[in-house]
Amino acid sequence: MTVPDPVATAALGSKPIHPSPLAQSSSAAASSPVLLAPSEVDPKLKLSGNIVSATCLTPFMIGYRRKQKDSDERESGSPAWELTPRRGSAALYDTLKHLASKESGWNHTVVGWTGEITEMSNKAPAPAGQHMQNPRIAQVGNPPPAMGSPLGQPSPSTTRTKSYLNPPPVPVFNGTYNRMTMVGDYSRDRLEEEQIPRVDKKEREELQVVLNRCAKDAGWNNVRAVWVGDEEDGGFTLTGQNRWMKYAEKVLWPTFHYIIPQTFPRVEGSALQEKDWWRDYLKFNNAYADEIMKTYTPGDIIWIHEYHLLMLPEILRQRIGRDARIGLFVHAPWPSSEIFRILSRRKQLLSGMLAANMIAFQSETYKEHFVSCCKRILESKESLDADGKCTGVETYGTHCAVHALPIGIDYQKVSAAIKHPGVDENVAKIKNGYGDRKIIVGRDRLDSVRGVLQKLRAFERFLENNPQWIDKVVLIQITSPSSLKESQAIELKVSELVSKINGRFGSLHYTPVQHYPQYLQPQEYFALLRVASLGLITSVRDGMNAASLEYIIAQEDTHGPVILSEFTGSAESLPDAIIVNPTNTAQVAEEINKCLEMSDEEKKAHHKRLYDHVTANTSQAWNGKFLSLLFDELVHDASHPITPLLDSKRLLKTYKESKERIFMFDYDGTLTPIVTDPEMAIPADRVVRTLKRLAQDPGNRVWIISGRDQAFLSNWLGHIEELGLSAEHGCFLRHPGQTEWENLAETMDLGWQKIVGEIFQRYTEKTSGSFIERKNVAVTWHYRRAELGLGEHMAALCRSEMEEALKDWPVEVMEGKANLEVRPQALNKGEIVRTLVKAMRQENGKGVGFVFCAGDDRTDEDMFRVLNELNADGKDNGAGELGEVFSVTVGPSSKVTEAKWHLLEPQYVVDAVGLCVGIVDPKDKDIVKGVKEEGQL
């Protein structure tokens, strides 16, 4: 329910609503937002003082009046654009408006999509000098119907945007009058109302001017409209605008609310065109990035809201770079990993989100679900604080903070609205109409996840079990329509159940269930909350439930209890509410009876705890909490050095200028992606061809330095005679042009292998899905296939036991990606690199002019560290000179590494090498940027 805003209503010429005296109370004072001003933030962050909030929609619904044919004017001087406040999302809009206030100290801009634009009639001009279409609407926050229109009926001055399909052609019979041979004449002039409206650049600029004016008048500061569509001849057509919401509303929303694809109706399922919807989803997100970049300045904070924009963090990160300061809040419930993994774009969505510096959710449960998705789908690791609490996700060496931050509502605004004289009048009317009967109130959208059917069944059971309450209590259920196709079916079931309950327990003078499928005016709505004896929320899946918070504020004097579903995001932040499982009809019915029989003292004590929480955790306080945590994360990120993207031009130039060159590659995660089954990490044909071309150049020495054993490397890469191979982290070498392997661990005592095998065997038996890989020297225990939490836990225990058992042996226990490996301390990748580079420098005294070394995990850091040492030694060791070193880690720029450069994925390593030998065109943008364009599928 949108609440009147005193500032906005005053600006629009309506009578302002004076804040309640409660706004000055201690509770309200306690809820004062702790929002740091730009000058109070750590100066190391170098913030600009700007906050850009990206929301799904602008705060205004937009109406468009087209030009008359052959004219630049509109009838009666009507303006092209008319705006009305948008219904819903009051909590979000209140938080954004607080950021725009002078008291916040920030310069705030809202960036939102125009939404589906409504075409206005040319015959009903707006009153002169009025920015909003209707002052009464602006006051109460309801959208179209206009003043004087029946509730729920469209305004006579507006018409809904037409489908604008091309009209059928005029039949032409060519003189034969034979319908089988007639043709369509598409050349006739269309009537003006048949023409597809097209908004040109000038009109879009006019809308931006109107938006700016209205935004400032209503207290929004700056609002920028995002245009999404197919631009033709400089104009955007107003057709098929709902296509941009398809992926979010038909794929993400159902999944987030546990309506998985298997449960979609067959007709709906056959109509899903997910590929096209995904392309539109990316285009929608890119349009936001385009608009943000028009006004972006270094140091801006970008705050992204909702599931419609999950790819926007990654797109902005690609355009701005590591210095982008991005926060993301997901208002919708987040599903468990078992549900989320159903999505075909699950990895892209998670990666897109993790490009933000911080992500927050409505509840701790949703946060845990998200972290679990990252761990199971991306194989990320969670970061923990000193108390063992999860604080974020570690992905490819970079950190993204993850928090549970339940949003609140604007207490002062709601309190002022509840005290409005119009509410008092409606309270008197409701009391007069229902007399001494107790009122149970429910307000929900009419879809399968809001639990209206569950609520009605519980109320029916309550009357059935407690006949003494018949004729003494009524359930007033307000429902608003849903955009889902299932809404009509739900409405039919609700109507049938209401009729059944009223038929069983009602009479001529008593109707137990009063169902109103309509939008209420705020003064009616808040009056209903004030007179109710019980608030009943039975959602089966929900994010924030604003109705429960508004009910608590409205019950300040009467202290009515609230029953709240455990499946709402608000349940965890309101533990003192009566928490129920809405599918347990008997439990809900029992709690209804308990609440109605609760003594005044119990109700007062119960309500006080809830009231104190709601007034202390307001939307303004939420602003301060979110931004403070984001600032902390940005300070943490700023203390970590950035690894620049590999400079492809510099790489190619140095390669061509050098005569003696050496290339050294890790295998898994560097030349090929990490896979669940190690045996399936087969090199692609493109990798093999690139390595072969590279090794055939007489000026190149090319080595694969891997943890793999000799058999694997010989099988897949051994046919490249010019290629050098190092197996088991340097224990075995096969020099270029040779077929025999040199065993560097031949003289070592390998008695420790028996101890290692026994310990690994015990943990294999305890950990389903794990297995042992016995190499010639090293022994590895893999737990990638094991249940995630169990694998990590058992690995920690195993490592501790292994290190204690091997403390007297010259070996080390290395932790890799979902594996533990035991190997000799004296042999590692770093020492092999030292040996190879030294040998090449001394080979002919000319030195090495070009060194390229790439790896992705901790074992590869030994290679980078040795190269840094050799580079620091310079020419003083008697060997030839060491030229430029390109040490490259595979991962993000924020990864903590000894390498000097980074590339995001294995394919870009292959591209960079292919660039040197002419396989890849230097003009290829993917190599220069290191990332693919988002539009590519």
Domain 648-744+827-925 adopts which CATH fold? Rossmann fold (3.40.50)
* Predicted local confidence at residue 179, as pLDDT: 47
Position 2 pLDDT exceeds 50: no
* Predicted local confidence at residue 544, as pLDDT: 82
* Predicted local confidence at residue 127, as pLDDT: 41
What's the rounded mean pLDDT across residues 890-897?
76
Position 17 pLDDT exceeds 50: no
* Predicted local confidence at residue 69, as pLDDT: 55
DSSP 132: B
Greater model confidence, 667 or 480: 667
Please calculate the CA angle 408-411-413 and round it to the nearest 5 degrees: 120
* Predicted local confidence at residue 746, as pLDDT: 85
Nearest Cα to Cα of residue 821 among 785, 773, 861: 773
Please calculate the CA angle 738-742-747 and round it to the nearest 5 degrees: 165
Indicate the pLDDT class of residue 894, thresholds 50, 70 and 90. Answer: low
* Predicted local confidence at residue 895, as pLDDT: 74
Q: How far is CA 125 from CA 67, 128, 725, 799, in A?
A: 13, 8, 80, 77
Q: Side chain identity at 61, as an amino acid letter?
A: M
Sheet bearing 60-64, strands edge to edge:
81-85, 60-64, 118-119
For 265-286, the pLDDT digits (tens) are 444 544 457 888 999 999 999 9
Would you say how long the chain is, in residues?
937
Between strands 183-185 and 170-172, the pairing is antiparallel
Whether 773 and 816 have beta carbons less than 8 Å apart is answered as no
Q: Exposed, middle or buried by CB within 10 Å (0-12, 13-18, 19+), for 733? A: buried
What's the rounded mean pLDDT across residues 825-830?
87
What's the rounded mean pLDDT across residues 684-696?
94
E-assigned strand segments in 633-765: 661-665, 700-705, 723-727, 732-734, 742-743
Helices first, then strands: H and E counts in the chain: 31, 35
Indicate the pLDDT class of residue 904, thresholds 50, 70 and 90. Answer: confident
For 50-87, the pLDDT digits (tens) are 999 999 999 999 988 876 655 555 555 567 888 988 87
Greater model confidence, 936 or 347: 347
Q: At 527, phi and psi to the nearest 5?
A: -65, -40
Nearest Cα to Cα of residue 851 among 691, 730, 703: 703
Whether 95 and 626 have beta carbons less than 8 Å apart is answered as no
Q: Side chain identity at 647, as an amino acid letter?
A: D
In three-state secondary structure terms, 329 is strand
Greater model confidence, 267 or 884: 884
Position 195 pLDDT exceeds 90: no
Residues contacting residue 769 through CB under 8 Å, at least 6 positions apart? 783, 785, 786, 787, 791
* Predicted local confidence at residue 929, as pLDDT: 38
CA 693, CA 686: separation in Å to the nearest integer?
Answer: 11
Neighbours of 55 (CB within 10 A): 23
Position 932 pLDDT exceeds 60: no
* Predicted local confidence at residue 188, as pLDDT: 47
* Predicted local confidence at residue 356, as pLDDT: 92
% of the chain residues with pLDDT over 90: 47
User: Which CATH class name applies to 751-823?
Assistant: alpha beta
Residues contacting residue 456 through CB under 8 Å, at least 6 positions apart? 475, 477, 494, 497, 498, 501, 513
For 848-871, the pLDDT digits (tens) are 889 999 998 888 999 999 999 988
Residues contacting residue 813 through CB under 8 Å, at least 6 positions apart? 799, 802, 803, 806, 820, 821, 822
Please calculate the CA angle 693-697-701 and round it to the nearest 5 degrees: 100
Position 872 pLDDT exceeds 60: yes
Q: What is the mean pLDDT of the chain?
A: 82
47-64+79-118+199-404 shares its CATH topology with 751-823? no
Select from 3.40.50.720, 1.10.10.10, 2.60.120.10, 3.40.50.2000 the CATH code of 412-615: 3.40.50.2000
Select from 3.40.50.1820, 3.30.300.130, 2.60.40.1120, 3.40.50.2000 the CATH code of 47-64+79-118+199-404: 3.40.50.2000
Whether 717 and 688 have beta carbons less than 8 Å apart is answered as yes
Instruction: Name the pTM for this structure.
Output: 0.72
- What are the structural domain ranges in the chain? 47-64+79-118+199-404, 412-615, 648-744+827-925, 751-823
Return the H-helix or E-strand segment holding 210: helix 201-217
Nearest Cα to Cα of residue 18 among 414, 420, 530: 420
Between strands 882-890 and 848-855, the pairing is parallel
Position 39 pLDDT exceeds 90: no
Indicate the pLDDT class of residue 935, thresholds 50, 70 and 90. Answer: very low
Locate 354 and state its tokens: 């993790």
* Predicted local confidence at residue 129, as pLDDT: 36
Handedness of CA 624, 625, 626, 632 (dihedral sign): positive
Q: How far is CA 328 from CA 52, 354, 355, 630, 903, in A?
A: 12, 9, 10, 10, 25
* Predicted local confidence at residue 26, as pLDDT: 32
% of the chain residues with pLDDT over 70: 81
Handedness of CA 889, 893, 899, 901 (dihedral sign): positive
For 109-157, the pLDDT digits (tens) are 999 999 888 887 765 444 433 333 332 222 223 333 332 333 233 333 3
Q: Exposed, middle or buried by CB within 10 Å (0-12, 13-18, 19+), for 299? A: middle
Locate 852 and state its tokens: 């390229």
Residue with tokens 């690199």: 833
Rounded to the nearest angstrom, the gap between the alpha carbon of residue 206 and the centroid of all alpha carbons in its chain is 32
Whether 323 and 366 have beta carbons less than 8 Å apart is answered as no
CA 582, CA 564: separation in Å to the nearest integer?
Answer: 9
What's the rounded mean pLDDT across residues 326-345?
93
Neighbours of 97 (CB within 10 A): 25
* Predicted local confidence at residue 123, as pLDDT: 56
CA 310, CA 303: separation in Å to the nearest integer?
Answer: 12
For 711-722, the pLDDT digits (tens) are 999 999 999 999
* Predicted local confidence at residue 767, as pLDDT: 93
